[in-house]
């Protein structure tokens, strides 16, 4: 049996005094909420909130449902999964196979490298693949690995050094999907980007996701590894991871359209998340020419040129006799016989400073005007200096041999 003293009794009595009113207040509050809540939700009192509908999609609005004008379905994760699932079969592995040994060992072949590719077309029983020039460079044979690991031998229709693009053709019997080309000109910095490829030649169908980090980036290209830039590639920058073996793979937008061909990354210890892709709008005409002609028909002048900034300043005046107002240009080292330049009277050690009135500061400037603005058969006006005298010549551009 338990006993209570005076203090215990008083405590129990005080608890009963406040407990009953508190319980009554809670019950009244719950009733008020239950009665008023439906009317509150129908009003505009509450701020816009995110809820989840029965299909699992995130929805934005005031709770009125999918028929309301404020209703918006947003499910980026599900959309990404659906897109990747639909386009991944169009991304393939590309294996560069080269012969090993001398004349007596011609039968020995080895995998010299690997990369990725994108099936962009299927017609007449054949399938066509875009990849990078550097992926198939020097190949004696090329094999394409489909998404189900089937290997198909492919033919190199054409390859181009300056654009770093190549086109392959193979039997299309086992090809299930092709990828639609999108529009790279309209992409916006910050929009989602998905890279799909074959990193390290072992993980076909690998997916990385990021955003478009920049447009119209220019990256110097040194083709002969002499320490001097021969070209500047204009590329899309992305932070979607691009690893060795991803070259030639697809950079797609959230709608599953091809917006770029993954090409390179900055490979420095202190750098992370800087990859580049060839814009599909720039690639499309190159691909068409490679498919049709096996090469890109570019106009040529018939000169071997070097940037003036490669020459010591002392030689600008002493050997080339240039006036002080010349700040840059290209000098002609040799002229091919019977070429457009030869017919126009261009000579060795002439210094070209302008083409069609546009300044030429180096070799890249000249090539960009020639390759991007001119066609075979076009006339070209050249401003140059010879022995300190400014002169002009006009030539008709021929096809590059």
* Catalytic (active-site) positions: 134, 164, 247
Q: Where are the alpha helices (DSSP H) in 4-123?
A: 6-42, 76-87
| Rg of the chain (C-alpha set) | 34
Cα(398)–Cα(374) distance, rounded to whole angstroms?
11
- DSSP classification of residue 380: E
Strand partners, 214: 237
Cα(121)–Cα(158) distance, rounded to whole angstroms?
15
Cα(181)–Cα(394) distance, rounded to whole angstroms?
39
Cα(38)–Cα(45) distance, rounded to whole angstroms?
12
- Please report which helix (H) or strand (E) contains residue 363, including its range: helix 363-373
Cα(278)–Cα(215) distance, rounded to whole angstroms?
10
- Three-state DSSP at 198 gives coil
**Contact, 169 vs 128, CB < 8 A?**
yes
Cα(286)–Cα(163) distance, rounded to whole angstroms?
8
Q: Please tell me the chain's helix, strand, coil percentages from 3-state DSSP, rounded to the nearest 5.
A: 25, 35, 40
Cα(246)–Cα(242) distance, rounded to whole angstroms?
6
Separation of first and last alpha carbons in the chain:
114
Cα(33)–Cα(35) distance, rounded to whole angstroms?
5
**Contact, 35 vs 29, CB < 8 A?**
no
- Please report which helix (H) or strand (E) contains residue 365, including its range: helix 363-373
Q: Chain-centre distance of CA 60, in angstroms?
A: 33
Cα(168)–Cα(94) distance, rounded to whole angstroms?
10
Cα(94)–Cα(135) distance, rounded to whole angstroms?
8
């Amino acid at each position: 049996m338990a006993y209570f003293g005076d203090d215990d009794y008083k405590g129990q009595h005080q608890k009963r005094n406040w407990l009953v009113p508190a319980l009554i207040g809670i019950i009244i509050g719950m009733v008020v909420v239950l009665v008023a809540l439906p009317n509150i939700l129908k009003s505009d009192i509450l701020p816009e909130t995110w809820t989840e509908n029965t299909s699992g999609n995130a929805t934005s609005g005031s709770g009125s449902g999918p028929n309301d004008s404020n209703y918006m379905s947003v499910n980026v994760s599900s959309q990404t999964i659906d897109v990747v699932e639909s386009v991944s079969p169009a991304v393939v592995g590309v294996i560069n196979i080269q012969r090993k040994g001398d004349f007596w060992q011609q039968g020995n072949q080895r995998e010299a490298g690997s990369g990725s590719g994108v099936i962009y077309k299927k017609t007449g029983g054949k399938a066509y693949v875009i990849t990078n020039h550097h992926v198939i460079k020097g190949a004696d044979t090329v094999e394409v690995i489909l998404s189900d690991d089937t290997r198909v031998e492919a033919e190199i229709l054409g390859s181009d050094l300056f654009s770093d693009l190549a086109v392959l053709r193979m039997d299309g019997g086992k090809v299930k999907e092709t990828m639609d080309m999108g529009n790279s000109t309209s992409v916006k910095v910050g929009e989602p980007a998905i890279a799909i490829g074959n990193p390290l030649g072992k993980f076909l169908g690998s997916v990385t996701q990021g955003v478009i980090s920049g447009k119209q980036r220019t990256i110097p290209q040194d083709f002969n590894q002499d320490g001097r830039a021969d070209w500047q590639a204009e590329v899309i920058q992305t932070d979607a991871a691009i690893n060795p073996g991803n070259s030639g793979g697809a950079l797609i937008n959230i709608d599953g359209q091809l917006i770029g061909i993954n090409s390179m990354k900055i490979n420095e210890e202190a750098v992370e998340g800087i990859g580049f892709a060839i814009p599909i709008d720039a690639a499309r005409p190159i691909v068409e020419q490679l498919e049709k002609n096996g090469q890109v028909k570019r106009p040529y002048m018939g000169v071997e040129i070097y940037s003036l900034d490669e020459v010591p300043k002392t030689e600008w005046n002493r050997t080339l006799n240039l006036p002080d107002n010349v700040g840059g240009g290209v000098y002609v080292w040799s002229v091919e016989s019977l070429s457009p330049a030869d017919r126009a009277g261009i000579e060795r050690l002439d210094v070209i400073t302008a083409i069609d009135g546009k300044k030429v500061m180096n070799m890249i400037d000249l090539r960009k005007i020639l390759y991007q603005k001119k066609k075979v058969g076009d006339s070209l006006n050249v401003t140059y200096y010879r022995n300190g005298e400014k002169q002009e010549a006009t030539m008709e551009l021929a096809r590059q041999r």
